[in-house]
């Protein structure tokens, strides 16, 4: 099974955003809740570099499905 995180680490994502002078990263492919853990990891690293994050979704996720709650 192909995994996005095998091709680009959260640090790689942040570096790419910085290199292109992007002010934000949008998580949109399929639906962000499908790859939630990866998106949260990438968002945390991006935030450390002052890059904003947005999840574009047609769905929702409840707090019980995501107990860490710190992203």
Tens of pLDDT along the chain (71 residues) come to 455 557 889 999 999 999 999 999 998 866 666 777 888 899 999 999 999 999 887 776 677 766 665 55
pLDDT computed for residue 65 by the predictor: 63
Cβ(25)–Cβ(17) below 8 Å: yes
Burial profile 8-18: b = 16 or more Cβ within 10 angstroms, e = fewer: eebeebbeebe
The separation between the first and the last C-alpha atoms of the chain, rounded to the nearest angstrom, is: 27
pLDDT computed for residue 4 by the predictor: 56
pLDDT computed for residue 28 by the predictor: 81
């Amino acid at each position: 099974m192909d995994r996005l995180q095998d091709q680009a680490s959260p640090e790689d994502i942040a570096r790419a955003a910085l290199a292109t002078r992007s002010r934000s990263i949008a998580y949109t492919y399929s639906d962000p809740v499908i790859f939630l853990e990866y998106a949260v990891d990438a968002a945390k690293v991006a935030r450390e570099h002052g890059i904003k994050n947005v999840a574009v979704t047609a769905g929702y996720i409840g707090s019980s499905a995501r107990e860490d709650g710190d992203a």
